[in-house]
Homo-oligomer: A and B are copies of this chain.
């Protein structure tokens, strides 16, 4: 009984995100995870890594013990 779930407040890509188009990405994570939808979340490549930008999730899917999220990335200004 009981369903394990992980509450996430940040998108950690580990470089596995797939660009769908322009700033829209899809990412598959292991297990069932709860991310807030339509809320700005920090996007990082690794948990302790630098901020890649801010993402807003507009679609989340649970199946086969995986979580698939689709999000729009708003890049930080790489102001050089």
Residues of A within 8 A of B (CB): 1-10, 12, 32-34, 36-39, 41, 47, 58-63
B5 touches A6 (CB 8 A): yes
Most buried by B among A1, A8, A59, A61: A1
Contacts of A58 on B, CB cut-off 8 Å? 63
In the assembled complex, 30 residue pairs joining A and B whose CB atoms fall closer than 8 Å, in A order, are: A1-B8, A1-B9, A1-B10, A1-B12, A1-B39, A2-B6, A2-B7, A2-B8, A2-B9, A2-B33, A2-B36, A3-B6, A3-B7, A4-B4, A4-B5, A4-B6, A5-B5, A5-B6, A9-B36, A9-B39, A9-B41, A34-B34, A37-B62, A58-B63, A59-B62, A59-B63, A60-B61, A60-B62, A60-B63, A61-B62
